[in-house]
Amino acid sequence: MLVLSRHKDETIMIGDEIEISIVDIKGDTVRIGINAPKTVSVHRKEIYEAIRAENIAATKQQLVPDKAALGNIAALLKRPGK
Amino acid sequence: MKINTSRFGEIELPDDTLITFPKGVVGFPEARGFVLFDCSDDGIFKWMQSVDVQELAFVICEASLVLPNYQIICGKSEQEMLKLSRAEDAAVCLILAIGANPADTTANLLGPIVMNAESRLGMQMVLVNPDYSTRHKIFADASGTENSNVSA
């Protein structure tokens, strides 16, 4: 991994189109500004990882739920007052 | 269109049921085509089966059934990717994890599936919302307390 030191308000370029700026530094928190083309998606890694893990769990867990069970779930979801 | 699946064997569906996910879903970038078909007689739950990865299938349902005021903000890049021009063309669904006990069913509120009924393009969004979780118990608020006022 390339490691660079940057001060507040300094920027890193990745290729021609992606700019990463250090907006603020407070204690152990760094605020980072990102300028990237709309086609590049930027996510906090922990959220991305959580969704990936949940996708894998959801598809592993599901055999074929029986219709009676799904009927029960549907009935609960439609319960008035929800 | 014939599709091989690990759960249902070989299934045949009309070509126009295919929904294209240009970026796949999170963790499965290779899964670019999905078909939807009913998994309960009432049509509330649907299987979202990958045509590329046999064993990849999710049970989904409309997000508003889980949380009536569930809302997402579809940014410009998402609108472009889905070729979405009218909000009413967007279907917002949640992936459910149904375990041995259906009462423990959870919904992934942070990774909704958004599809454009018109262009038949879809994507899984990655939301940033501290009120939402990837394992939201869908019956936790049956008592009427938790999450009754959540909005995005």
Does residue B1 belong to the interface with chain A, where contact is any CB pair within 8 Å?
Answer: no
User: Does the pLDDT value for residue B150 go beyond 70?
Assistant: no
**Among candidate residues B60, B66, B74, B25, the one with its CA nearest the CA of residue B148:** B66
Across the interface, of A65, A74, A81, the residue whose CB is closest to B44 is A74
**CA B152 to chain centroid:** 17
Does residue B130 belong to the interface with chain A, where contact is any CB pair within 8 Å?
Answer: no
pLDDT computed for residue B151 by the predictor: 45
Q: Are B55 and B89 in contact (CB under 8 A)?
A: no
User: Does the pLDDT value for residue B27 go beyond 70?
Assistant: yes
Mutation to test the A interface, candidates B59, B82, B110, most A Cβ within 10 Å: B59
The string over B42-80, giving b where at least 16 C-beta atoms fall within 10 Å of a residue's C-beta and e elsewhere, is: eebbbbbbbbebeebbbbbbebebbbeebebebeeebbe
Structural tokens at position B4 = 């091989």
User: Does the pLDDT value for residue B152 go beyond 60?
Assistant: no
Long-range contacts of B126-131 (CB under 8 A, 24+ apart): B126/A41, B126/A43, B126/A47, B126/A48, B126/A51, B126/B26, B127/A47, B127/B72, B127/B152, B128/A44, B128/A47
Q: How confident is the model at residue B140 (pLDDT cuts 50, 70, 90)?
A: low
Mean pLDDT of B63-71: 92
Mean pLDDT of B26-54: 90
User: Does the pLDDT value for residue B143 go beyond 60?
Assistant: no
Q: Are B56 and B50 in contact (CB under 8 A)?
A: yes
In three state form, how does the secondary structure of A41-56 look? CCCCHHHHHHHHHHHH
Structural tokens at position A77 = 């979801």
* Per-residue CA distances from B72 to A25, A53, B22, B38, B58 (Å): 30, 21, 20, 24, 20
- CB within 8 Å of chain A, chain B residues 41-100: 41-42, 44-45, 55-59, 61, 65-66, 68, 76-77, 80, 95-99
Whole-number Å distance between alpha carbons of B45 and B50: 16
List, for residues B117-138, the tens digit of each pLDDT value. 999 999 999 998 889 999 999 8
The secondary structure of residue B89, as a DSSP letter, is G
For all residues of chain B together, what is the average pLDDT?
87
- Percentage, residues of chain A above pLDDT 70: 82
Q: Are B59 and B96 in contact (CB under 8 A)?
A: yes
Question: Which amino acid is it at A32?
Answer: I
**Among candidate residues A37, A43, A24, A28, the one with its CA nearest the CA of residue A10:** A24
pTM: 0.80
User: Is this complex scored with an ipTM above 0.85?
Assistant: no
Q: Which residue of B has its CA nearest to A41?
A: B77
Q: How confident is the model at residue A78 (pLDDT cuts 50, 70, 90)?
A: low
Whole-number Å distance between alpha carbons of B31 and B38: 20
Helices (H), chain B: 63-66, 76-82
Q: Are B5 and B24 in contact (CB under 8 A)?
A: no
**A56: which chain B residues are within 8 Å (Cβ-Cβ)?**
27
List, for residues A29-58, the tens digit of each pLDDT value. 999 999 998 777 788 889 899 999 999 999
Least confident range from A37-51, A56-70, B76-90: namely A56-70
* Rg from Cα positions in chain A: 22
- Percentage, residues of chain B above pLDDT 90: 63
pLDDT computed for residue B7 by the predictor: 87
